[in-house]
Amino acid sequence: MKQPEQNTGANARVTDNEFLKLASRAVSATSDLGPVSVDPDVAEAMGAIDEPALSLDDALDSHFDGEDPTAIEEVKGHG
């Protein structure tokens, strides 16, 4: 496998791929201290996904695993 040539001095450059790897390591190390703002491109390189938030109704429904807790009381004769 061919090794990339080393650029040093005034002509040193970092490729996009190398930058994302270095930035990912920096975010990982810094996040040990608390929350960190992350550039979207770096977050994507780290495997982050964009997921929309739940609506209020969906969030409330998620607490009941699809079962209505009041229906159980009615079946037992307590409702």
Written as one string, the DSSP assignment of 5-39 is: PPP-GGG----HHHHHHHHHHHHHHHGGGS-----
> Pick from 52, 45, 49, 50: which is nearest to 27 by CA?
45
Q: 27 or 9, which is more confident?
A: 27
CB 27 within 8 A of CB 42: yes
What pTM was estimated for this model as a whole?
0.50
Three-class secondary structure of residue 77 per DSSP: coil
* Cα Dmax for the chain: 82
Task: Encode pLDDT of 16-28 as tens digits.
Answer: 999 999 999 999 9
Q: Is the pLDDT of residue 67 over 80?
A: no
DSSP, res 36: -
Average pLDDT of 54-58?
A: 87
